[in-house]
Amino acid sequence: MKIKDMYENLPFDLSGARTKNRFDFEILYGIELLIDNYHILNDYTVVFDYVCDIELHCNDNDILKFYQLKTNNTGKPNNINFLTKKEKDKDSIIGKMYKISNNDFSSNISVLLVSNAPLINNKFVSKPNEAILLDNIDENVKGKIIQHLKDETHEKEINLENIYYLYRNVGVDDFEATLIGKLNKFYEKEKNCYMNKPTVLFNSIKATAISKAKYEKKCNFNELYYNKGISKKDFEKMIGYHYEKNSEIYENCYKQIIENTKSNSLFQLSCTKSLKNLISGKDQKVLNIVEDICNIINKDMEKGLEISLDEYAKNFKESHSSIKFPIYLTKSDIYTLVIYSFEKVKENFNYEINSK
Question: Closest Cα to residue 42, out of 63, 55, 59, 62?
Answer: 59
Q: What is the pLDDT of residues 300-321, one digit of tens each?
A: 888 887 889 999 999 999 999 8
Q: Looking at per-residue confidence, does 78 or 277 come out higher?
A: 78
Q: What phi and psi, each to the nearest 5 degrees, are found at residue 17?
A: -65, 140
pLDDT at 353: 45
pLDDT at 145: 92
Give the residue-averaged pLDDT of 9-16.
66
Q: Looking at per-residue confidence, does 191 or 355 come out higher?
A: 191
pLDDT at 305: 77
Give the residue-averaged pLDDT of 205-228.
93
Q: What is the pLDDT of residues 319-354, one digit of tens each?
A: 998 898 999 999 999 999 999 999 888 877 664 545
- Give the mean pLDDT of the chain: 87
Q: How far is CA 234 from the centre of its chain?
A: 9
Residues 6+ apart with CB under 8 A from 232: 34, 37, 38, 41, 42, 43, 44, 45
Query: Percentage of the chain with pLDDT > 70?
Result: 93
pLDDT at 16: 53
pLDDT at 280: 65
Give me the torsion for CA of 273, 274, 280, 285, rounded to 10°: 160
Task: Quickly state the pLDDT bin for 242 (edges 50, 70, 90).
Answer: confident
Give the residue-averaged pLDDT of 73-92.
85
Is the per-residue pLDDT at 91 higher than 60?
yes
Q: Would you kindly state where each structural domain of the chain is located, as residue ranges?
A: 3-230, 247-355
Q: Looking at per-residue confidence, does 173 or 98 come out higher?
A: 98
Q: Is the pTM of this model over 0.95?
A: no
Q: Alpha carbon of 156 to those of 26, 98, 103, 152, 153: distances in Å? A: 33, 14, 15, 11, 9
pLDDT at 124: 64
Is the per-residue pLDDT at 169 higher than 70?
yes
pLDDT at 257: 94
pLDDT at 28: 95
Task: Quickly state the pLDDT bin for 55 (edges 50, 70, 90).
Answer: very high
pLDDT at 88: 76
Is the per-residue pLDDT at 270 higher than 90?
yes
Is the per-residue pLDDT at 355 higher than 60?
no
Task: Quickly state the pLDDT bin for 65 (edges 50, 70, 90).
Answer: very high
Q: Hey, is 86 helix, strand or coil?
A: coil
Strand partners, 125: 120
**What sign has the CA pseudo-torsion 209, 214, 218, 223?**
negative
